[in-house]
Structures are given as C-alpha cells and as structure tokens.
Amino acid sequence: MAVSVDPIDGTAMKAQFPLLSREVHGKPIVYLDSAATSQKPLAVLDAMDDYYRTINSNVHRGVYMIAEEATNRMELARALVRDFIGARSSSEIIFTKNATEALNMVAQSWGRANLSAGDVVVLSHMEHHANIVPWHMLVAEIGIELRWIPLDNEGRLDLTDLDTLLNGAKVLSVTAMSNVLGTMNPVRTLTDAARKAGAISMIDGCQSVPHSATNVQELGADFLAFSGHKMCGPTGIGVLYGREDLLEAMPPFLGGGEMIRDVRLDGFTTNELPWKFEAGTPAIAEIIGLGAAVEWLNGVGMDNVRAHEIALTEYTISTLHERFGDRINIHGPSSPAERGGVFSFDFDGLHPHDISQVLDQHAVCVRAGHHCAKPLMKLLGIGATARASVYVYNDTTDIDALADALDATGAFFTL
C-alpha cells in the first residue's frame, strides 16, 4: 500500500495540547478517543481565559465597553464558523449547547410545524442516538414513519433502494461520517436524492466537520449539526447551520430573552435570525472558544488535517493487521480514502470493557461500548466495541503504543 504524505509534524503538534504532556499510571498519555471529544490547544484555552479575565459581561444589551467587546468577539466567532463551513450568512449559524440540541431543534421546531401523521423521515442504520431518538419522539407524538437506509457488508450505506426509501419522504437525516465504523458517506448524492424527492436534508456533521474541509453549498445540505468539543473547541457549545429561508419559516424553539423583538402580556414577536433561536444568555465564553478553535484549525489547514488522518489511518490498519492478523477485526471500510480515523475493533474475543481497562493501565485511552449507536450494534450482532480514534495531534507513536498495549492485554487475559 502506498503510504500517503503526512503534512503534519506530530511532536510540534502535541506540544500545543497541554493535556497530552501529562502522565497516567506513570506513563505518557496516549489519547485515542477524539471521536468522543477532542483535546484543546492552548490557543483555545487562552481565548476563553482571556474573555473571563478581561471582557466577561453579558452580550447584546450592554452599552459599556467590555460588553461591546464581548458582543463583538462572540459575533466574530459566528462569522468564523460561517466561513469555516461556507454558509452564506451569519444568520444561518445558530449556536446550541451541543450537536444533540441542534438535531433536536430541527426535529422539534421544523418537525412539529411541518410533519403530520404518516409523514416519512429517512435515517440510516449507522446513526448516532442523537439523530434517532428525536425522531422516535415524533413517532410517539405525531405518528411519523421512520425508514432506514441499510448498510453493505463493509459498513457503507447501501443506496440501492434510496429512491424508493425517499419516495414521499419529507426529511432525510443522515450522518456524514459514522462514529463507529469511520465510514464517510456520499453526502452530496444523498442531499441530491432528497431534493429530487422533495425532502429536506439534515446532515449530522459531528464526525466530519472536525476532520475535513466542509462547504454546505457543496454538500447541498439544508441543515448541518455539529459540536464544538470534537473540533478542538470547548464543551457546552454546538452549531446548527440552517438555510436562511427554512430558518425564517421555522417557529422558535426555546422562548426567553434575546430571541424576542417584543413581549407583551398577550404575546410576543420573534427577533431576527440567528438570535430567534438563541434564547437566554448565550454560552459566550464557549462561543469565543469555538471561534478560536476554528481559527486554530484554519491555521493548520483542514486539507492538512485530512491528509494527516488518511496517512495515520493507513498506518493504523496495516500495523494492527500485521501485528495481530486474525486476532483483530476492524469494522468499517477497508480503504482509508473512504473512511475517517475511527477504528472500532474486536480483539481476541475479549469484551471491550476489559480491553479498555487494561489499555488504561498502559495509559492508552480508548472507548468501549455501544458508542450511542445501539441499532448499528444490533445490526453488527455485537453489544459493544472497543474504539480507537485519532485526530490532528496523534501520530504513529500513538498507534505503536496501542499495539503494544493490545499485546499486553491479550497476554493478561490468557494467563
């Protein structure tokens, strides 16, 4: 296999992430759980700290200098996010508390206003619970019907019957990349098919936006949801991108301050976009932190991030296969170009909890469980997997450490 060129220097990169210099159980930490949440570069921590130390104040309503400055920095972050995903206007960037809230906002606000009994929503078998349960709630409330795009045997979407599934559908909501299998889905094909069928499309970008260049115009998506904490940003912040005309027509989600134009005893009118969907005091520090994360990622270059992860994916798959042969089974597509750096695996017939526990003793952090994708787990016929996932700060030494620790795990349980 021709190994891709990796534009990123692992050592210099790691130095920017304070957590990566700590030790666990006396060994340097090997963080391989970025699909759950990423580590944060100093630039992001500093941006938030600086907000709290110099301009902390409530936004949008203060006439005094630090409140103006806070408002400016928050709205600048919105503009950074807008450009990061190629949205046309800042009105289309709505800050939420996480991607889950963004997905719920569409299901609940758009859904309640536009769906009725028998209407069809198309999902896929590889969705995260965050893109399943909100729709289940509408099944119970409204009586919509859910249809599921199946998977092929390498864990890719099987689009053979897509047009049939979309026939008469109102919504297509699918992840751009599986957080279990690593599969990167053909988003444009999906959104084109949805549009042809007269359905709106929502893309769960949680695993794709942090890892590759994103342009909502090219994706053709009506809605896109993602989380800050998986893209070098802080916890407590997510984004819903929505096409302006859809957002204009959509009823508000939460009621309160910021989202109103006028409130009387007998009713209220809503504020302009995007604030119509941002009730209450925003997550100001977190928005500013997300803006800093976007700037930081722009500095690295999203194409470099992707190239780095393709190279690391090649290395990971070949290393694990070389060292463990049939003892390991890595789920998902075999070609690195079709997948992101998420590796769910079965090893030696051991339970993922036990694998992860022993790996931890070697300071290797991987996730064990259903990864919030129980329907996919059931389809795969397993209860849980161990999952290692990489990001821009990982390098081949991390993969070597994982392999060494897996060796030790196998040994421990066959004693």
Ligand X SMILES: Cc1ncc(COP(=O)(O)O)c(C=O)c1O
Catalytic residues: 372
Pick between residue 362 and residue 367 the one whose CB is nearest to ligand X. Answer: 367
Kindly state whether residue 99 participates in binding a second copy, applying the rule CB under 8 A. yes
Closest distance of CB 261 from other proteins, Å? 5
Kindly state whether residue 66 participates in binding a second copy, applying the rule CB under 8 A. yes
Q: Which among 311, 398, 364, 394 is positioned nearest to 17, based on CA atoms?
A: 394
Pick between residue 4 and residue 71 the one whose CB is nearest to a second copy. Answer: 71
**Which residues 6+ apart lie within 8 Å of 44 measured at CB?**
232, 233, 234, 289, 292, 293, 296
Sheet holding 342-347, edge to edge: 328-330, 342-347, 385-389, 367-369
Question: Among a second copy, other proteins, ligand X, none, what binds residue 175 when CB lies within 5 to 8 Å by partner kind?
Answer: ligand X
**Which residues 6+ apart lie within 8 Å of 213 measured at CB?**
302, 303, 306
**Which residues 6+ apart lie within 8 Å of 265 measured at CB?**
none
DSSP reduced 3-state for 393? coil
Question: Among ligand X, a second copy, other proteins, none, what binds residue 207 when CB lies within 5 to 8 Å by partner kind?
Answer: ligand X
Q: Kindly tell me which residue out of 14, 60, 229, 306 binds other proteins, with binding defined by CB under 8 A.
A: 60
For ligand X (CB under 6 A), the number of binding residues is 17
- Quote the tokens at residue 133: 């349960």
- Asked if 187 contacts 215 with a C-beta cutoff of 8 angstroms, the reply is no
DSSP secondary structure letter of residue 324: H
Kindly state whether residue 234 participates in binding a second copy, applying the rule CB under 8 A. yes
Kindly state whether residue 357 participates in binding other proteins, applying the rule CB under 8 A. yes
Q: Which among 403, 411, 410, 415 is positioned nearest to 348, based on CA atoms?
A: 410
Kindly state whether residue 390 participates in binding other proteins, applying the rule CB under 8 A. no
Pick between residue 123 and residue 144 the one whose CB is nearest to ligand X. Answer: 123
**Per-residue string for binding with a second copy, 128-147, x by CB under 8 A?**
xxx-xxxxxx-xx-----x-
* Residues binding other proteins (CB under 8 A): 25, 60-63, 67-68, 71-72, 75-76, 78-80, 82-83, 89-90, 260-262, 271, 351-354, 357-358, 361, 368-370, 374, 377, 383-384, 412-413
